[in-house]
Chain A
Amino acid sequence: MADLTHLPVLAQIGDDFFGNREGAAERCPGNNGLCPGWIADNFDQYLSPLWEHVLLSLVPLVIGFVLATTLALLAHRYRFLGPLFLAFVSALFTIPSIAFYLILLNVTGRGFTTAVIVLTAYTQVLIYRNVTTGLQEVPSEMVDVAQGMGLSRRQILFGVELPMALPTIFAGLRIAASSTVGIAGFAFFAGAGGLGAEIFADPTFRGNVVAASVLMIVLAAILELVVLAVQRAFTPWERAVSS
C-alpha cells in the first residue's frame, strides 16, 4: 500500500476529519479491511457528507436547468445564437473537473459556492443540448397547425413545442443528475466536502472506500428516479399512450 499519510488535502478539509477514523482499518479485521460490521457501526459518520453531497447535486441541477433552458430558448428564438452557445457549453464541459475546482478556487474562494459554479457549468451542455434537440424534433406540421389556429408565438412555445420536447428534456436532466453526483465527488478540492472527501480521507481502508462509493452510486440512482417521477407527473399524456 502507498503511504498516504502525507496527503495534505486532508489538512485542508478539516481537523475533525481524521479524528474518528484514526486506525479504523486496524479495528476492522475482516476481509482485509472490508467488514460490514464496521460500516454499520460507523454509518452515521457518512450522514453529514451524504447531506453535503445531496446539496452539491441538487443545487447545481436546479440552477443549471434554469440557466440551460433559458439559453436553449434564446437559441430557439434567435437561431444564430445556437452554434455560439453550443461551442461555449461544450468547452465548459471539457475542462477537467479537479483543475476547474482548483482554478476557480483562486477566483471565488474556497467552499460551497465555488463547487456549485463548477457543477452548474458541467450540467449546461447535457441539459442545453437535449432542450434544443427536443424543440427541433417537434414535427413542423404541428407548429404549422398551431399557427393556422391563430396561436401566438409564445402560445406555440409553451402550449405545443415545450410539452412535446419534455421527454427529451427530462432525459437530459437524468444524465445531468447522475453525472453531477459523480463530479461532486471531487468537490472537496474546492473545500466543499461531500462523499468524495470521505473516500480521500482514507483511500487505503477498503470499508471506507466501499461505503462512500456505494452511497454515491445509490444517490445517483435515487436522483435519476426522482427526475423520472417528476417527468411522469409533468407528462401525464405519455402514460395514457403507453398503458
Chain B
Amino acid sequence: MTFAVLGPFGDAIDFIFERRVSQAGTVEVGGLQEMGELTLTHLELSLAATLIATLIAMPLGAWLGHIGRYQFLAISTSNIGRAVPALGLVVFFIAFLGVGFLNVCVALVLLAIPPIITNTYVGMRGVDPETVDAAKGNGLTGFQVVRQVELPLALPTIMGGIRISLVSVIATATIAPLADVDTLGRPIISPNVYGTAGQLAASIVVAIVTFAADGLFAALQRAVTPSGIKINAGGRPRGRLSFLSTKRSMPST
C-alpha cells in the first residue's frame, strides 16, 4: 500500500498500516498491531484519569453547587487550572514522584479535575430556583433534591465538563512516554526510532482518537439532556448563573 502522492502524509499513513525497519535499522516499527497497542494504552490512561477525576470532582462540585456557597472557589479552580501548564504539571510529577503509569495518571487527574468541578457547580446553580423550591415543597430532602432534581437537570453541563477534561487529557497523554508509559506519544517523543513518518502517523491517530472521543461525548451529552430542557433550549437560560455559560471554556493542552 502506498500513498506516495500525499507526500509526508502518505508515508505516515503507510506507517500506520505496515511495519517497517526503524531509523537505526535494528528493530521493526509501525504497523496496525503496534499502533493499536499504543492507542489502547493511550485510551486506558486517558479514561482512567478522567474517570478518577470525575469521581472526585463531581460530588465536590455538586455539593458546592447545592449549598450555593464558595462560588469563588468553584469558579477559580478552573482559572488556576488553566494557568498551570500541562507540560509543566506532568513533567513535575515525573521529576518528583518518578516514572510509571500511576504517577502520570495522578498528574492527568489533577489536569482533569478543574473543568469538572466548575461545570458541575455552574450546572447545579443553573437549575431554575423555582424548580428546586417546588421539589422542596413536595417534601424532598436535601439529598433527594440533589439526586432527583438538580443533578439530572445539571447533567448536560456536567457532561460538557467531563468532555473538556477527556479531550485535554487525551491530548496531554501524548507526553506520557516521558514517564515510560507507551502511549501514542512514543513515536512522537522518539522519532529517532520511529522516524518522522511515525511521528506524523501518531499525531494523526491522536487527532482521530480525540475527535472520536469528543463526538461520542457530544452524542452522550445530547442523550442525557432531559427532554424538558431540550424544548426550552431556544429561550434564555433561567438559572442563577446563566452568565457563566461555560459549556466549553477550557482549552485542551
| Residues of A near any B CB (own CB < 8 A) | 1-2, 4, 6-9, 11, 33, 90-91, 93-100, 102-103, 106, 122, 125-126, 129, 133, 137, 175, 178-179, 181-183, 185-186, 189, 196, 199-200, 203-206, 209-210, 212-213, 216-217, 220-221, 224
Query: Could you tell me which residues of chain B, from 205 to 253, have a CB within 8 Å of some CB in chain A?
Result: 206-207, 210-211, 214, 243, 245, 248-253
> In the bound complex, how far is the Cα of B190 from the Cα of A205, in angstroms?
20
**Is B98 in contact with A97, judged by CB distance below 8 angstroms?**
no
Q: Report B27-52 residues with CB < 8 Å from chain A CB.
A: none
Query: Are A175 and B249 touching (Cβ within 8 A)?
Result: yes
| CB-CB under 8 A for A210 and B85, given A1-B98, A103-B203, A186-B253 | no
Task: Considering the complex, give the chain A residue whose CB is closest to the CB of B199.
Answer: A102
The verdict on B16 contacting chain A, using a C-beta distance below 8 Å, is no
A106 — which chain B residues lie within 8 A by C-beta?
Answer: 7-9, 200
**Which residues does chain A contribute within 8 Å of B249, judged by CB atoms?**
126, 129, 175
**B-chain residues with CB within 8 Å of residue A199 when the two chains form the complex:** 87-88, 91
Residues of A with C-beta under 8 A to B179: 2
Which of chain A's residues have a CB closer than 8 A to the CB of B84?
A: 182, 217
Q: Is the CB of B9 within 8 A of A204?
A: no
- Give the contact stretch, choosing among B120-128, B131-139, B142-150, B168-176: B168-176
Give me 5 A-to-B residue pairs in the complex whose CB atoms sit less than 8 angstroms apart, sorted by A's number.
A2-B178, A96-B170, A96-B207, A96-B252, A99-B204
Does chain A have a CB within 8 A of B110?
Answer: no
Contacts of A205 in B (CB 8 A): 95
Query: B174 touching A96 by the CB < 8 A rule?
Result: yes
Q: In the complex, what's the smallest C-beta–C-beta distance from A180 to chain B, in angstroms?
A: 8
Q: Is the CB of B207 within 8 A of A103?
A: yes
**Contact B251–A122 (Cβ < 8 Å):** yes
Residues of B contacting A196 in the complex (Cβ-Cβ under 8 angstroms): 85, 87
CA distance A216 to B47 in the complex (A): 28
Looking at chain A's contact residues, is the secondary structure mostly helix, strand, loop, or mixed?
helix
* Complex Cα gap A205–B91 (Å): 10
Given A182-B82, A209-B88, A137–B191 Cβ distance below 8 Å? no
Known: A1-B99, A93-B248, A196-B85. A103 touches B188 (CB 8 A): no
Contact (Cβ within 8 A) A93 B87? no
Size class of the contact patch on chain B = 35 or more
User: Does more than half of chain B's interface fall in helix, strand or loop, or is it mixed?
Assistant: helix
What is the CB-to-nearest-CB distance from B146 to chain A, in angstroms, rounded to a whole number? 28
CA distance A205 to B202 in the complex (A): 27
B252: A residues at CB distance < 8 A: 93-97, 122, 183
Given A179-B251, A185-B85, A209-B88: A97 and B171 within 8 A (CB)? yes
Tell me which of B7, B85, B98, B248 contacts A216 (CB under 8 A).
B85
Q: How far is the CA of A9 from the CA of B186 in the complex (A)?
A: 12
Q: Please name all residues of chain A whose beta carbon is closer than 8 Å to the beta carbon of B199 when the two chains form the complex.
A: 102
Contact among B83, B88, B210, B248 with A178 in the assembled complex (CB-CB below 8 Å): B83
Taking the closest CB of chain A, its distance from the CB of B120, in whole angstroms, is 19
Task: List chain B residues, Cβ under 8 A from A33.
Answer: 95
Closest 3 CB pairs of A and B: A213-B88, A96-B171, A179-B251
CB of B92 within 8 Å of the partner chain: yes
Indicate if B2 sits at the interface (CB-CB under 8 A). Answer: no
Q: What residue in chain A is nearest B248 (Cβ atoms)?
A: A90
A110 to B99, CA, bound (A): 30
Q: Kindly provide the distance from the CB of A126 to the nearest chain B CB, expressed in whole angstroms.
A: 7
Q: Please indicate which of the listed interface residues B91, B200, B214 has the most CB atoms of chain A within 10 Å of its own CB.
A: B91
Asked if B72 is at the interface of the complex by the 8 Å CB criterion, the answer is: no
Measured in the bound complex, the distance between the Cα atoms of B175 and A102 in whole Å is 14
Checking A9, A99, A178, A200 against B191 with a beta-carbon cut-off of 8 angstroms, the contacting residue is A9
Q: How far is the CB of A202 from chain B (nearest CB, A)?
A: 9
CA A91 – CA B210 in complex, angstroms? Answer: 11
Please give the distance in Å from B185's CB to the nearest CB on chain A: 7
Q: Given A8-B191, A96-B252, A175-B249, are A200 and B87 neighbors across the interface (CB < 8 Å)? A: yes
A209 with B92, Cβ < 8 A, contacts A90-B248, A182-B251 known: yes
Note all chain B residues with C-beta closer than 8 A to A178. Answer: 79, 82-83
Q: Judging by beta carbons under 8 Å apart, are B178 and A182 in contact?
A: no
Q: A94 vs B217: C-alpha distance in the bound complex, in angstroms?
A: 12
In Å, the complex CA distance between A4 and B253 comes to: 22
Query: B210 touches which one: A94, A126, A129 (CB < 8 A)?
Result: A94
